[in-house]
Amino acid sequence: MTNISSLAHKEIPTTTICIIRHGETDWNSLGKLQGTEDIELNDSGREQATQTARYFETEPWDIMVSSPLKRAYETAQIIASHLSIPTIHVVEEIRERSYGSASGLLPEERRTLFPDGVIPDQEDFEQLRQRAMIGLTKIVETFKNKKIIVVSHGGLTNSILYTLSGGEFGSFKTRLKNGCINRITFQNNHWKVVFYNKTTEELLSLKNI
């Protein structure tokens, strides 16, 4: 005979993922469009990564995953060091979108060269979304029911948020902050966005209310 009360309290297996946008780079501070170029963090970006780590100190985390690009990997290294996570797993599919000939351009330069907003040689948005979800699925299948920190990029992360929210937020609607945290869960083959685009300061202030 099955004990109904025990079923009611049985914990449903859940994979928890926090996707972080990397810390600031010099290109970010100048407003340059940054794609697959391998730009390092600046001092502000390193401090952002250190501050972001504070949020994760409030609960245990199992796995650290990063994009292969330097700005993401260095952010992951700083956070992993604070949390004593020994290994950073690199997933190629979560690298940033390629922006083609628009990469490295300032906003006014992009408006001049691409007045209609169409960049013909950038990575197609649907291809980006598919690649992002392939990477996310790979992470979930590899580290089932774990608590995972993923460091990636603004364009890539926004495409995931767009997909999971059915276009309610994410790409075309949300400007992700450097060092922001986006928490999602995967349970019973269902994705849920818990919160998005939050800084450690914002999240810790909510805990203190």
Residue 90, both tokens? 């690199």
**177 vs 194: CA distance, rounded Å:** 17
22 is catalytic: yes
Q: Please choose, from the candidates 132, 99, 140, the residue with its C-alpha nearest in 3D space to the C-alpha of residue 14.
A: 140
**182 vs 117: CA distance, rounded Å:** 27
Out of 24, 74, 93, 96, the active site residue is: 96
Which segments of 9-93 does DSSP mark as H helices, in order? 26-30, 43-56, 70-83
Out of 22, 24, 93, 153, the active site residue is: 22
- 64-87: string of b/e by CB count within 10 Å (b at 16+)? bbbbebbbbbbbbbbbbeeeebee
Is residue 89 classed as helix, strand or coil in its secondary structure? strand
The interaxial angle of helices 154-164 and 125-142, nearest 10 deg, is 80
Is residue 141 classed as helix, strand or coil in its secondary structure? helix
96 is catalytic: yes
Catalytic residues: 22, 96
